[in-house]
Amino acid sequence: MTTDAAPGAAARRGRPGYDRDRLLAVVVQAFNDHGYEATSLGMLSERLGLSRSAIYHHFDSKEQMLEVALAQALDGLEAVFDEPEATTGPADARIRHVLRGAVLVLTAELPSVTLLLRLRGNTEVERAALARRRAIDGRLRALFERARDEGTLRPEVDPRLAERLTFGMVNSLVEWYRPDGRTSPEALADAVLAYVDAGLTAR
Amino acid sequence: MTTDAAPGAAARRGRPGYDRDRLLAVVVQAFNDHGYEATSLGMLSERLGLSRSAIYHHFDSKEQMLEVALAQALDGLEAVFDEPEATTGPADARIRHVLRGAVLVLTAELPSVTLLLRLRGNTEVERAALARRRAIDGRLRALFERARDEGTLRPEVDPRLAERLTFGMVNSLVEWYRPDGRTSPEALADAVLAYVDAGLTAR
C-alpha cells in the first residue's frame, strides 16, 4: 500500500499519522474537491492537520504532489497496454483486454484517475500528463484501426469515434463509481464490455 | 442568439462590444479553463477587457453568471425529456429519443454543459444544479426500468448501470467534441445510438 518501502524512503517518513502515500491520498482528494489550482497549501495544511513544513517534509511542492499522483494513474493505464494480451493476437481481443484493464485500473486508482481526467493543462506538469494521456488514447485508436483492417470492426463504425466513445464510457465511471458500492469492478467491466462489443463483429 | 431581446433587457446592454450572452460566453470559457472557484473577477475583467463595474452592469455576481450558464444547459436537457417522443410510446423508443436529444443539446450548448458536468458542488448554486442533474439522470433510469418491464432491456443489463454507462458515454463528448470538427452532431448521435442499442433488444 505504500511506496515508502523503498530504500532511503525512511528519511521521507517520521511524521506520526502520515506516510507519503496516505498524505498524498488526502491531497488528491482536496485537488478533486476544489481543483488543483484552487487548492492552496493552507487548505492542505488544514485538511491534514499538519504544518506547511511538515508537508514539505514529504514533497518539494504542490506541483510535485500533482506529478506523483498523476504518475500513479498513467503508469497503471500504460501497463495495461504493455501486457502480452494487448500486444499480441487479434485486435478485437486486444481491445477487449485493454478496456477491461482500463476499468480495473480506474476502479483501483479512482482518485488519481479522477484527477487525471479533470486536468485543464494550465501548467507544465499538467500538459505533460495530458500528452501521456493522448498517447494512451492513440494506442486504443490504433487497435480499433487494426480491428478495421482485420475485419472485426463493424464497417459503419469509425475507429476514431469508437475509441472516443468507448474510452469516454470507461472514463465516465469516475463520476459515480464508489469502491464501497454494490457493483464490483469485474461486474462493471462486464457491463462496459457488453457495450464495447456492439462496435465489434464476431470473428 | 441573445436573450436580451426581452423587454427591459435594453437596460442591461449599452456597453459596446458585449451583450449579456456574448459576455457570458467568455465567462463560461474562463470557468471551464480554470474552474469556477479559481476564476477571479480580476481574471474575467482581463479576458473581457472590461472594468469590474462594466461586468456588474450585466450580472450581479460571479455566482449569478454561473447560475444563468447552468440554466442554459439544464433547461435544454429537461426539455428533451418533456417532448412527446420521450413521454409516450414504448420505453426503448423513448430512450433512443432522449439520448439522441441529449447529444444534440450537448453539441449545441457545449460550453454550458461542460461547466455543468465539471461542477464540484461547493456552493449553493452548484448544489442546486447538481440536484437538477441528478433528477435528469433519474428520468433516464426510470425509462430503462420501464424498458426492463416491457421486455426491451436485455435481461443481463441492470437499468441503473445502463443509465450510468449510456449517459456517461454521451457526457464524455464534452471532453473532445468541437463544433468545427469533422463529425456532425447527427452523425455523432447515430454512433452513440449504435452503442446504446447494444443494451436493448428488438421489439
pLDDT of residue A200: 78
What is the number of structural domains in chain A? 2
Among A38, A59, A80, give the residue marking a domain's end.
A59
Looking at the structure, tell me whether residues A106 and A157 fall in a common domain: yes
CB proximity A161 to B under 8 Å: yes
As a 3-state breakdown, chain B gives helix, strand, coil percent values, each rounded to 5, of 70, 0, 30
Question: Same structural domain for residues B26 and B73?
Answer: no
Closest partner residue to B161 (CB to CB) among A35, A191, A199 is A191
pLDDT in tens, A34-82: 889 889 999 999 999 999 999 999 999 999 999 999 999 999 999 999 9
Q: Is A181 on the interface with B (CB under 8 A)?
A: no
Q: Hey, are the CB atoms on B120 and A35 less than 8 Å from each other?
A: yes
Q: Which residue matches cell numbers 465511471?
A: A173
Which set of grid coordinates corresponds to residue B56?
A: 456588474
Looking at residue B7, its pLDDT comes to 44
Sort out which chain B residues have CB atoms less than 8 A from A199's CB and list them.
Answer: 194-195
Residue B62 to residue B41: CA distance in whole angstroms? 7
B135 touches chain A (CB under 8 A): no
The whole-angstrom separation of Cα A173 and Cα B142 is 20
A154 chain-B contacts, CB cut-off 8 A: 194
Residues of B in contact with A118 (CB under 8 A): 118
Q: How far apart are CA B32 and CA B16, in angstroms?
A: 25
Does A51 lie in the same domain as A70?
A: no
CATH number at residue B40: 1.10.10.60
| Shared domain check, A54 and A96 | no
Contact B172 A176 (CB under 8 A): no
Rounded CA Rg of chain B: 19
**C-beta atoms of B164 and A157 within 8 A:** no
| DSSP bridge partners of B153 | B200
Same domain for B28 and B91? no
Residue B154: exposure state from Cβ atoms within 10 A (0-12, 13-18, ≥19): middle
Task: State whether A9 and A107 are in the same domain.
Answer: no
Considering the domain architecture, whether residues B125 and B195 belong to the same structural domain is answered as yes
Chain B contact for A35, CB < 8 A? yes
Q: How far is CA A152 from CA A81, A141, A197, in A?
A: 19, 14, 10
CA triplet A39, A44, A45: central angle to 5 degrees? Answer: 140
CA separation for the pair B98, B125 (Å, rounded): 26
Q: Are residues A104 and A191 in the same domain?
A: yes
Find out whether A66 and A120 touch, Cβ atoms under 8 Å: no
Q: And the C-alpha cell for B139?
A: 428520468
CB spacing of A168 vs B172 below 8 angstroms: yes
What average pLDDT does this structure show over B187-196? 92
B197 Cα to chain A: minimum distance (Å): 8
What is the ipTM for the molecules in this complex? 0.82
Does residue B87 share a domain with residue B17?
Answer: no
Query: How do residues A73-120 score in pLDDT, each as one tens digit?
Result: 999 999 999 999 999 999 999 999 999 999 999 999 999 999 999 888
Q: Tell me the average pLDDT of chain A.
A: 89
Structural domain harbouring B16: 3-59
Read off the pLDDT of residues B6-44 as tens digits, 9 standing for 90 and up: 444 444 444 457 889 999 999 999 999 888 988 999 999
Domain boundary residue among A42, A59, A76?
A: A59
Q: Is A33 in Cβ contact with B35 (below 8 Å)? A: no
Residues across chain B: 203
Of the residues B18, B39, B59, the one at which a domain ends: B59
Q: B172–A164: do the CB atoms touch at under 8 Å? A: yes
How many CB atoms sit inside 10 A of residue A179's CB?
A: 9
- pLDDT tier at A11, thresholds 50, 70, 90: very low
Contact A66/A36 with Cβ under 8 angstroms? yes
What are the grid coordinates assigned to A141, written together?
485508436
A83 and A123: one domain? yes
**What is the CATH number for A76?**
1.10.357.10
Helix, strand or coil, per DSSP, at residue B49: coil
Name which of B133, B163, B195, B201 to mutate to probe chain A: the one with the most chain A Cβ atoms within 10 A of its Cβ: B195
Residues B55 and B68 in one domain: no
Same-domain check for residues A48 and A83: no
Do B67 and B58 meet the contact criterion of CB atoms below 8 Å apart? no
